[in-house]
Amino acid sequence: MSMQTKLSTLWIFATLNYLYCDVTGLMDPAMLKQYLAGNLGGLQMTQGFLLATAIFVEIKVSMVLLSRLLGHRANRWANIAAGAFMTLVTVATLPFGFGLTGYYAFFAVIEVATTSYIAWSAFKWSETDVRPGLRDRQSPAASLDSEPLRTPQQT
């Protein structure tokens, strides 16, 4: 499995865990009451708060695609940055007013382990492990447009 596929798959796994943790929170009567009141552990759910959560989710969703499309250097740094950021945000939000429940702690451990592993894997990813055509700035999408198709007789 290529590193691009591995990283993309890990982002899918992390994203599904983040999302299912949120869905599980909606089944928690105490959390549901807070959601319906628009106040989550003392934090007002304003349009700004909702935009911030949308950006938080979009980082993970975008990394699924970017891990497959970016060339080596940009891919490596994007995964290091996004993996480290998601890890830090998850750890930093643990003590806040949402109430640390068993299910939240369970998902948080999985999320932190996965995003840490993503950042670590990207950090260790050397250029010698890159598929041909993904060196530095060249992405698979760019390579599709840069060279015409050849028939077996032309090679």
8 A C-beta contact, residue 40 and residue 104: no
Beta-bridged to residue 43, according to DSSP, are 40
Please give the model's pTM, rounded to 2 decimal places. 0.78
Residue 137's pLDDT band (cuts 50, 70, 90): very low
* Alpha helices (H) along the chain: 3-27, 29-37, 47-69, 72-93, 102-124, 140-146
* Mean pLDDT estimate for the chain: 85
- Reported as a pLDDT band with limits 50, 70 and 90, residue 101 is confident
The first and second tokens of residue 57, run together, are: 């989710």
Q: Nearest to residue 7, comparing CAs of 111, 94, 78?
A: 78
- Name 39's bridge partners: 44
Span 69-95, average pLDDT: 93
How much of the chain, in percent, has pLDDT values that exceed 70? 79
Computed on alpha carbons and rounded to an integer, the radius of gyration of the chain in Å comes to 19
Which residue's entry shows tokens 């591995």?
Answer: 6
- The angle that helices 3-27 and 29-37 make with each other, rounded to 10 degrees, is 90
Residue predicted with more confidence, 41 or 109: 109
Condensed to tens digits (0 to 9), the pLDDT of residues 16-63 reads 999 999 899 889 998 889 889 988 878 889 999 999 999 999 999 999
State the residue for tokens 């319906």: 36
Q: How confident is the model at residue 1 (pLDDT cuts 50, 70, 90)?
A: confident
